[in-house]
Amino acid sequence: MLTLNPMNSSFNKLLTIKILIVVLMFSIFSNNFLFIERVNALSDSKQLVLDAWTLVNEGFYDPEKFDEINWKRIRQKTLQKQIETSEEVYSAIEDMLRPLEDPYTRVLRPKDYELLKSSNFGSEINGVGLQLGEDDDSKKIKVISTLGGSPAEEGGIVRGDFIEKVDGIPSEDLGLANTASKLRGRSGTKVIVEISSEAGEIREFDLERRSVDLRPVRTKRLREDSHTLGYLRITQFSESVPKKVEEALQELKEKEVEGLILDLRNNSGGLVSSGIAVADSLLSERPVVETKNRNGIKDAIISQKETSFDGPMVTLVNRGTASASEILAGSLQDNGRSILMGEKTYGKGLIQSLKSLGEDSGVAITVASYLTPKGNNIQGQGMTPDKLLELPDASEYGSSDDKWVRNAELYLESILEKEEVAIQTSEANNEEFKI
């Protein structure tokens, strides 16, 4: 009779387990190797798509959104598409970013990328002179403001109008970034813009693009009775603005102005660093702004001790006041440095970082949100003025028929008169004490 040795059975089981482990390890290694090979074998076009995904994945301010939309699965599905031409690259990235539901995180084609860089560093841009945003309720492309002396202003487009079509293409198909891009172009070329008013009236404009001088800083002296006031208007925050503001404030100080009207109406923002630098000129060792990124709230940025002007102020804001100008307005209001007068501001409180993508394109990524020194969130909320003004806009800001400026003048005069009375009372009390 043949007797089976139990040791052989145990040995066989152990051998089987070892073989399975080896096979499994080989399988994992092979799959990883094949995956690495596939990644390395990506075409240049698909590599750009992957680079865009990686930049957004590393910088986007709300990583919880990634889990909500299955962000990694979106990458996988996108890379499975046929992507060969540059246009297919940009379209694929746009499709990939759309589920984030953030109009400010976007791919920038070469022309848009160059124009965005030049608008931040220069003082002029070729286009029709419209500053655009997305309406919170309708999601339509809305005119935040028109630039003074621009084709859009001369044609009659006003703040609050909606862009329906550009050269026959619906703006809802283009999206915010592409609508703005199609409005820009070579000086002398034309673009047909279909506009709807807030009341629903449809109008069509045939506009000729040209170089629009942004003149970001404008100033003048205002004489009112026995007081001399300064008027300072900032139309956008480009790189050169802080220095220009310093020069303007120095000029006003030499003219012995006692109070300042800071006009931020229809200033749709620009470089956040420039807005913070201007706040630094007006605040002494005070918090300017806090930021909330994917890692939480960062410590507030504190202004330096020295200021360029420390007299009483009024800051004018309206629905076209957005982004970096809201940061400045919020810092002045929360620190009690200036009252805000006018309308509730636009409410754009998101910070974008501009990253290069390849040699001549880029991607803008929302990396953080703004909080005022008191912790108020600007995004979707805006800044509420201390004094609301229900007055029509002037045809020219800062002109003699600008009733908003007139209201600011009256307020500053009352403040200065109270200070004079307080000084006189103090001097009288000192005289009595000497007796």
How many whole angstroms separate alpha carbon 34 and alpha carbon 168? 47
Rg for the chain, CA atoms, rounded: 29
* SS3 per residue for 125-139: EEECCEEEEECCCCC
How many whole angstroms separate alpha carbon 17 and alpha carbon 377? 59
Residue that has been written with the tokens 């004489």 in this structure: 223
How many whole angstroms separate alpha carbon 416 and alpha carbon 244? 27
HSE value, Cβ hemisphere, 13 Å, CA-based, for 209:
18
Q: Give the CA distances from residue 70 to residues 39, 76, 402, in Å, rounded to whole numbers and listed in that order.
A: 20, 10, 52
Residue that has been written with the tokens 């109406």 in this structure: 265
In 162-238, DSSP assigns E strands to 162-166, 169-170, 190-196, 202-208, 210-213, 217-224, 227-234
Catalytic site positions: 323, 334, 348
The total number of residues shown for the chain amounts to 435
- At CB < 8 A and 24+ separation, what contacts does 60-67 make? 60/100, 60/102, 60/105, 60/294, 60/365, 60/366, 60/367, 61/292, 61/293, 61/294, 61/350, 61/351, 61/366, 61/367, 61/368, 61/369, 62/294, 62/366, 63/294, 65/100, 65/101
Contact between residue 138 and residue 230 where contact means Cβ atoms under 8 Å apart: no
Q: Where are the alpha helices (DSSP H) in 41-141?
A: 44-59, 64-69, 71-79, 86-97, 110-121
- Please enumerate in sequence order all residues whose Cβ is within 8 A of that of 260, keeping only pairs 6 or more positions apart, or say none: 229, 230, 231, 232, 249, 252, 309, 311, 312, 313, 314
How many whole angstroms separate alpha carbon 409 and alpha carbon 261? 8
Contact between residue 281 and residue 309 where contact means Cβ atoms under 8 Å apart: yes
Residue that has been written with the tokens 């629905």 in this structure: 319
Q: Give the CA distances from residue 99 to residues 74, 103, 106, 300, 355, in Å, rounded to whole numbers and listed in that order.
A: 9, 10, 12, 31, 20
